[in-house]
Each structure stands twice: as structure tokens, then as C-alpha cells.
Structure 1
Amino acid sequence: MSYEDTVVPKVKKNADGSRRRVKASDFDEISKEILITACSVYRCLIVTQAPFPDSVAAETKLAKEAWREACQLKGVDVKLTPSAVNMLLKRASHVRGELKMKMRPLTASFHGFRSSNSMEVIRSNRDLAERLKIGSIFVFKDPSSKSGIYKTELLQQGINSMWFLNRSDEGVIYHKYFDPIPIKTIALVLTAIECCVDEWSQGIKEDIKFTSAGYGAVYNHHFSSLQRFDERTAPYKLLSKIRINLHDTARFHAGVASLIPLSATSQAHIDDAAFEDAIREYQREGKDAAVEDEVEEYEYPSSEGGDDE
């Protein structure tokens, strides 16, 4: 079905005769449905494929892809116009800002930052922020021992809160983009966490904008570290296991699936030694599991005494 002319909204004017900004309500019903769906798809494409697009052309390409996907989902062919593209492009900064706002209280609670005028608390917050930034130890499950790299529960909490809060959330509806959780999405959440940590760098929480200019380089650092981790631990598929587990746990949180066991100056460099530690942790876990299996399979003598017949 072709419906190419429906997306062109009537240009409304303000009282002084100037052109008013186009809004979703200016579109007809069918085009509005396509636009709403395309916005959701575009948000998913941004966070899974290009969290910090390096050009307007890259953003526009994703916008066109989102529009085509929305038309396919609705079973109609609606023409995409510049006004609709502009509305889609605004969602890139919106979705990053939404993630940052959701990560802010989660990060503060998880790591123990406190709001207070006490000099002791302010100093404690400042020291904590500084420690978490060195070597990006906030990516570890246990920052003190630097064990469990990329297994911090805060990462899972962020993914759950942002995309898998319930059955109607984007991670569930558009699950194909999040199964398993993309490396770029993990890097984006880690970057948002770092931004939230930066807000406490002076001991008192301040608002730091989560912009491409401020955190694009930090994101690239985290993405690069994840790629190095994946390459170094490839024989064990450790990152693949983490990605699958993040997805399965998130779906369980949303109630749609059973749990399947399985400052903008970044200091995000993670030493290769941490990757070696992750391999050793994995190997130890495998050995422990093997021992448990042997114990379970062992047939203990009867407690009733006597010889077997």
C-alpha cells in the first residue's frame, strides 16, 4: 500500500506570521503513527549502533532506516520528508539524556555517594570519585580486588531500567536490536556511569551534560577496551557470555522470559592484566563446577550398613 503524500504536514504560523516549529500533532493520523514508531526504532538504532554519531549524515542514515522499519511494521509506504527527519534526529540527544538521568540515582546509590554539606562527606565523595575513575575500576564486579571485569551489577541495573523496565519497554518490543546486548550499548551505559561519577568529582553533585562533545571520546575509550577484551579472551567467548547474560537477565526483569543461567577527561584505560585475570577467573569457575559435578555424581555407601548384595 502506498501512502506517499500523507507525511507532509500543513505548515502552521504563529500570531506574528512566522513559521511555527513542526510537531507530531501536525501530521495526519497514519503519518503520526509512522512517526511515533520510527522515533522508537531510531532511539534503538542510536543506542545499539551509533551512540555518538560522528556526522549528520550518519544520523540521517539511521533516521531513514528507522522510517523504513516503521513503514514495514505498519504495512504502509509513507514518504519521508525533511521535517520528519529533523524530528527523528532530535531523539539522539534525548535518548542519551534519558539514560544519563536514569543512571544518576542508580550510580549514586550503588557506589555510596551522599549529598551533604559536611566537609568530611564532601571529601569522601571526592576521593571515591577519584578512585572509581582510575583504571575504570567501576566496570568490575568487585572494584577493590578488580575481579569480575564488566560484571558490575550497576551495568545490569542500567540496562534493566532503560530498556527492560516492563513488557512494553523498547528492549522488549524491539528485542532484535538488543539480543544479545550490543557491545556499543554496553560502552554507552559505562560512559553514562562515568559521567555520573564525574558529577561527584568535586565532592558535591553538579550537573554535567552528557553530550557528544563532552563524552564522545570517553565512549570511544570504553568501546575500544571492550573490543580488546573480546579479542584477548576470544577462545573463551567471555564477552559473548556477558552480553547474553545481560540480555537474558534483563528480559527476566521485564517479566517476559525465564532467567537463562549462563570530568570528561577519561582514565578509562584498562590494563591487559585485567583481561588475564578474567581468563583465570573463568578457568577457576570451570574447575569448581567440575568438582561439584563429581561430588553430585559420587554414590555414597548406604548408611544402613552391611555388604551390597
Structure 2
Amino acid sequence: MPRENRAGSTTSNERFNESLHRTLTDDGTFHYKDINTSTGIRSGFSENRFIPQVVQLAFFPNVRHGIGYKYSSMFNPIPVETVAFVLTVIHASIDEWSSGHQVSASFTEAAHAKFYRGIMDNLNKWAEANPSAWLNIHTKWYKRAFRTGGGVNPMQADVHISKAAMTAARAELGRRTGLTDSEDDGDDGAGSNADNNRDTAQDGE
């Protein structure tokens, strides 16, 4: 990946920052996973490691306040809209260095809606090439963010009884219909029989 911006208002630093800004924003370079600055070859479209990190920090900071936990079904897998929003925010931050030194700007819909719509279109076209791979990548991001923020993996479960005990229980259930009186219902059934016997005794008095 290209190096970070240089602080300081010297001419050389500003030229470096301007060049870095052009490199990162050229054809979406900033969101690729791997970039060979010597050959210009890029791979891992929209898979830069910062993307899932930002998703986790923004939506899964902790189980008490994270919107990703409150509406977990909406984030599994991480939606294209979420990734597009994250990339829009990152692009806006990079754009603050376009002049060579940082000029902070408010993040508004008017200023960034056009980029958001464009990156959404790019992401959807990319996902269409291999929906299965897209699903795996974004599901992996969800699980990682969920765990990192302190959540218990919803795909895991504790084993409460042994495999042998479960096999025996399943076999027993397989022999039953659940419809006949001969199948003892336990305490409820015993209670019912006792009540019936008491009623019969009272009738005979």
C-alpha cells in the first residue's frame, strides 16, 4: 500500500500528499486489498483490511450500544449499502488532503451522494460476477465484527448431552406416537390418575 500522508506544511510534504491523494483516488485504488506500486497491479476489489475494521468500529463497537447487535439480521452478511457508506466516508477523508494539506470538511449527503451512488453501482456489478464468493466474504466480515465487539458467535452451540445419549433419546421417541394413554406422561399423568381414583371413591360412598 502507498505510504501515509506527511504532516507539516513544507512544499515537499504537500507535493507528496497531493501525489498520494491522486494515487489512492485513481480508479478506486484505496479500497483494493493488495496494490503493487511498482507494477500498478491491484487485487482484492473492495477488500482493503480497513473496510471490515471500520464496519466493526462503527456498527459493532460493543454488545450494549452496537446497532449491528440490535439489528443483527440486517448485517448478516454485511450489506452492500454498508460497504458503500464506509467507502464513501473513507474517500471523503482522503479527499481532505487533495491540496497537499488537510482541509477538514463536513460530511454531508449533498457533497457525497454522487460518490455513494457510483460506488454502490460498482459493488453490485462486482458481486454479480460471483455471488457465492461475495456472500462468503461479507458473511466472514459479519462474524469477525460480531466477535470482535464482544458478541457470542450465533453459529456456535454448546453440547449439553453426549452423542450416545442423544441417539438413545431419538430412538425412544421414534418408537412413540404421543397419542396413546399407555405412554406415561409423568407427573401430570400420575396426578390425573390420582384425581380419577379419588373421584371414583367419592362416588362409591
Shared topology, TM-score over 0.5?
A: yes
**Where does 1:230-269 land on structure 2 (aligned, <5 Å)?**
230-234=127-131, 237-258=132-153
Residues of 2 paired with 1:217 and 1:191: CA distance?
10
**Once superposed, what is the RMSD of the aligned Cα atoms?**
1.9
Tell me whether 1:112 sits opposite 2:112 in the alignment. Answer: no
Residues of 2 paired with 1:254 and 1:119: CA distance?
42
Tell me whether 1:189 sits opposite 2:83 in the alignment. Answer: no
| SS of aligned partner of 2:6 | coil
Residues of 1 paired with 2:154 and 2:33: CA distance?
20
Report how many residues are paired.
149
The structural deviation recorded for 1:172 is: 1.5
Structure 1 residues 259 and 197: alpha-carbon distance in aligned structure 2, compared to 1, 3 A threshold:
farther
Counterpart AA for 1:160: Q
The structural deviation recorded for 1:200 is: 0.7
> Residue by residue, what CA displacement relative to the aligned partner does 1:258-285 show, whole Å, maximum 9, x if unpaired?
598xxxxxxxxxxxxxxxxxxxxxxxxx
Residues of 1 paired with 2:152 and 2:44: CA distance?
25
Tell me whether 1:122 sits opposite 2:11 in the alignment. Answer: no
Tell me whether 1:224 sits opposite 2:116 in the alignment. Answer: no
Structure whose alpha-carbon radius of gyration is higher: 2
Counterpart AA for 1:150: S
Residues of 2 paired with 1:213 and 1:186: CA distance?
19
Structure 1 gaps, min length 5:
1-109, 261-309
TM-score (norm 2): 0.67
- Judge conservation of contact 1:249–1:259 (CA < 8 Å) in 2: no
| SS of aligned partner of 1:191 | helix
Residues of 1 paired with 2:42 and 2:98: CA distance?
21
The structural deviation recorded for 1:216 is: 0.5
Task: Give the alignment partner of residue 48 of structure 2, picking from 152, 157, 164.
Answer: 152
The structural deviation recorded for 1:232 is: 1.9
Higher relative contact order (CA 8 A, sep 6+): 2
Structure 2 gaps, min length 5:
156-205
**Other-structure match for 1:290:** none
Residues of 1 paired with 2:3 and 2:124: CA distance?
26
Residues of 1 paired with 2:108 and 2:3: CA distance?
23
The structural deviation recorded for 1:246 is: 1.3
The structural deviation recorded for 1:257 is: 3.3
Counterpart AA for 1:166: N
Task: Give the alignment partner of residue 111 of structure 2, picking from 203, 210, 214.
Answer: 214
Residues of 2 paired with 1:189 and 1:259: CA distance?
24
**Other-structure match for 1:49:** none
Task: Give the alignment partner of residue 57 of structure 2, picking from 147, 153, 161.
Answer: 161
**Other-structure match for 1:57:** none
**Where does 1:14-25 land on structure 2 (aligned, <5 Å)?**
none
Structure 1 residues 179 and 128: alpha-carbon distance in aligned structure 2, compared to 1, 3 A threshold:
same
Tell me whether 1:133 sits opposite 2:25 in the alignment. Answer: yes
TM-score (norm 1): 0.46
**Where does 1:255-294 land on structure 2 (aligned, <5 Å)?**
255-258=150-153
